[in-house]
Amino acid sequence: MFGAMWSEHCAYKHSRPLLASLPTEGERVLVGPGENAGVLDIGHGLAAVFKVESHNHPSAVEPYQGAATGVGGIIRDIFTMGARPIALLNGLRFGPLEASEDASGGTDAATAARNRYLFDGVVSGIAGYGNCVGIPDVGGELFFDASYSGNPLVNAMCLGIAHQDEITLARAEGAGNALLLVGAATGRDGIAGAAFASAVLGEDRDARRPAVQVGNPFLEKLLMEACLELSHSDAVVAMQDLGAAGLTCALAELSARGGCGAEVDLDRVPRRERFMNPLELLLSESQERMLLVVKAGREAEVESVFARFELPAVAIGRVIDEAVVRCQFEGQLACELPGRALVDEAPRYVLPAAPPDGLPDRLAVDLAPLAAEAPSVQGLLELASAPNCRSRKPVWRRYDHMNGTNTLVGPGEGDGALLRIKGTPAAVAVSLDGPGRLAALDPRSAAAAAALESALNVACSGAVPIGATNSLNLGSPEPQAGYWALSETVAGLGEACRALGIPIVSGNVSLYNETADGPIVPAPLVGMLGLLEDRATAVPMRWLEGDEIWMLGSPGWEPASLAGAEHAWRRGELGGRPRLDLESAARVVRLLPELATERIVAGSHDLSVGGLGVALARMAIASGCGAIIDLPAPADQWPTAALYGEGAGRAIVSRLPGRGRSDPAARRGAWGATVDRHRTPPAP
């Protein structure tokens, strides 16, 4: 039990001291880090409940079930809080799907085949689970790099809506109250899953297959509806999902948060396999299970709700005043230990940190010759059709993104998804995004760029970013370079969110993402929630004939903007020193919702992978008409950097001449162009 709860996956031994520096408070924060999910006030007596989690190692071993149970777990984190899930998003990273020879060493045919197997399995698992439960998958991101070969990243995010007075917390209280185990029966699947997620993937990955859970989305749907019905009742004191470390984690966390204890009879745990011992019952990570604290004397009332949904609900124990978790098995004491010791007393490590060898040389690479090259039409088409820039429609077309009739803007239609809040004029915008290879050069800038990119995504739709969740995916923290990358990532995330004035209310850290070939390129993913008070002011990702086109933000045309950029990598330039104008980027994020509210802009799109060139191409394709673009000096000194540089914190907007009460150029500085209906570029 200590091994599971003190694993990196559960205890955050290396990251918790660093995470304490992140901003977590704000005027809209109702519940911050420490619960199953974060909760924000969105007005009208309603709250948004959201979180992102990773399921990387399970997906590397069994991609379908690994991804499916990752989706199932994050859904339970949301409805555990009494919120109805209304949207799913996912952030994915894979190795190249096709064999190639490139500047980074290429990918052989066997590795590419394995990557495609993982990719197909993960996408199928996400679609299979989310579609069956009936929650729309509305957005996310996808990136390919050789460092993720054999160690894919699968991050699942869920957003739910609840009445503020019905939020349920995971805190046991009231001696004598019953502990009800509800949902699926317990099996041997997922045992040691928490420990598996805290280790480097090795040659024994296939032997780890039993540590991967098996999901049942139809049962999850029933469990969700039953729990949501009970969230309206005062019979339920607390709910807790049985995820990593299973019953051990649920008992320990419920009792530790409530300052009480739990007494359990393991013989009463429903099981689907014979001869299970107490250790297996306590550590099984079988899916679709919940532990409820129910007021004494009202057990039958709660059990009847689950009976209507044909779900088992069994009282396995009671809350006690003594601050211990005490379990009996076959009439004998199986364990007796303080829940707080499992949850709060794991060691915390602050390790020596140093940049990796060779990094100064990579940062010193001069990108000026590449930045000064003259771009070509063929070069733009090649970049726009590259794996990291091309349309994601073959992926998201497999997801049901209209289920629930809340989706106003779904995948492929905007930078962020937009969902109506029924019964109000408001909408929420949501995004999950992260950097490409920038973290290979500067993990601090990469984490900051992830927060800016995600905030820009929701701001481009006209929404004001109000809160964030994060999933930080890195290699082992034990080498000095690994701990340096972790500490720099957390620092960059904090700097960006403070500059934006956005609290981080939930999150996840996934470490030891590496294989025998080395660690992954760090991938800090940030989920952002934005609020649109009047959804009639939403801004689409398009322009119309006759519109002016403006770029907002620091131009970023210097050679440094190519550092870590997709164009530079494809040309074999893997170095350079990135530069990030954090304050300028934050001003753009604040400006965009103002322009939407005042109806100054007609369309907007952020600049991300592929820079300005790819952003303009996407807008042209989405709009069905092209544009004549005039880049003023000094862009002509660095034309490739001007078109393909990926400096964070920039957006393009369209507007009819004279529209609105004020001119954005006069207030912030921008440059213009005019849409030409007759210049339609070919689709890449």
Query: Per CATH, is 353-390+540-684 categorized as 1.20.144.10?
Result: no
* 294 φ/ψ angles, rounded to the nearest 5 degrees: -120, 140
The 10s digit of each residue's pLDDT in 165-191 is 999 998 999 999 999 999 999 998 878
C-beta separation of 576 from 636 below 8 A: no
- Please, which residues have CB within 8 angstroms of residue 369's CB and are 6 or more apart in sequence? none
Assess whether pLDDT exceeds 60 at residue 672.
no
- Tell me which DSSP letter residue 83 carries: -
- Per cent of the chain over pLDDT 90 is 85
Q: What mean pLDDT comes out for the span 574-591?
A: 95
In the numeric block, which tokens belong to residue 665?
């150029």
Assess whether pLDDT exceeds 60 at residue 666.
no
Q: Tell me, rounded to whole angstroms, the distance of Cα 73 from its chain centroid.
A: 13
Assess whether pLDDT exceeds 60 at residue 676.
no
Q: How confident is the model at residue 410 (pLDDT cuts 50, 70, 90)?
A: very high
The 10s digit of each residue's pLDDT in 356-379 is 999 999 999 999 999 999 989 899
- Residue 385 C-beta-side C-alpha neighbours within 13 Å: 9
Q: What mean pLDDT comes out for the span 569-573?
A: 93
Assess whether pLDDT exceeds 90 at residue 581.
yes
Domains 168-346 and 353-390+540-684 fall in the same CATH topology: yes
**Distance of alpha carbon 237 from alpha carbon 190, whole angstroms:** 28
C-beta separation of 153 from 523 below 8 A: yes
How confident is the model at residue 556, as a pLDDT?
84
- Per cent of the chain over pLDDT 70 is 92
Q: What is the DSSP string of 361-413?
A: HHHT---HHHHTSPP-HHHHHHHHTSTTTS--HHHHTTS--STTS-EEE-TTS
Assess whether pLDDT exceeds 90 at residue 302.
yes
How confident is the model at residue 483, as a pLDDT?
98
Residue keyed to tokens 């098996």: 214
How confident is the model at residue 389, as a pLDDT?
95
From the candidates 14, 55, 57, 567, which is the catalytic residue?
55
**Distance of alpha carbon 495 from alpha carbon 501, whole angstroms:** 10
Give me the chain's average pLDDT, please.
91
Three-class DSSP category at 97 = coil
Domain positions in the chain = 168-346, 353-390+540-684
- Residue 577 C-beta-side C-alpha neighbours within 13 Å: 6
How confident is the model at residue 211, as a pLDDT?
64
Residues 168-346: name the CATH superfamily.
PurM-like C-terminal domain (3.90.650.10)
How confident is the model at residue 192, as a pLDDT?
66
Q: What mean pLDDT comes out for the span 100-117?
A: 81
The 10s digit of each residue's pLDDT in 315-344 is 999 999 999 999 999 999 999 999 999 999
**Least trusted range by pLDDT, from 96-105, 283-292, 478-487:** 96-105
> Rounded to two decimals, what is the model's pTM?
0.92
Sign of torsion over alpha carbons 543, 547, 551, 557: positive
Assess whether pLDDT exceeds 70 at residue 201.
no
How confident is the model at residue 141, as a pLDDT?
95
Q: What mean pLDDT comes out for the span 595-621?
A: 95
Assess whether pLDDT exceeds 50 at residue 422.
yes
Q: Tell me, rounded to whole angstroms, the distance of Cα 113 from its chain centroid.
A: 26
Q: What mean pLDDT comes out for the span 67-78?
A: 96
The 10s digit of each residue's pLDDT in 373-407 is 998 989 999 999 999 999 999 999 999 999 899 99
Tell me how long the chain is.
684
44 catalytically annotated: no
Q: What mean pLDDT comes out for the span 516-531?
A: 96
Assess whether pLDDT exceeds 70 at residue 110.
yes
Assess whether pLDDT exceeds 70 at residue 193.
no
- Please, which residues have CB within 8 angstroms of residue 189's CB and are 6 or more apart in sequence? 210, 212, 213, 214, 284, 285, 286, 287
In the numeric block, which tokens belong to residue 134?
């009936």
Assess whether pLDDT exceeds 90 at residue 665.
no
- Residue 127 C-beta-side C-alpha neighbours within 13 Å: 13
From the candidates 9, 14, 401, 605, which is the catalytic residue?
9
- Please, which residues have CB within 8 angstroms of residue 188's CB and are 6 or more apart in sequence? 210, 273, 276, 280, 284
C-beta separation of 389 from 566 below 8 A: yes
55 catalytically annotated: yes
* 216 φ/ψ angles, rounded to the nearest 5 degrees: -135, 90
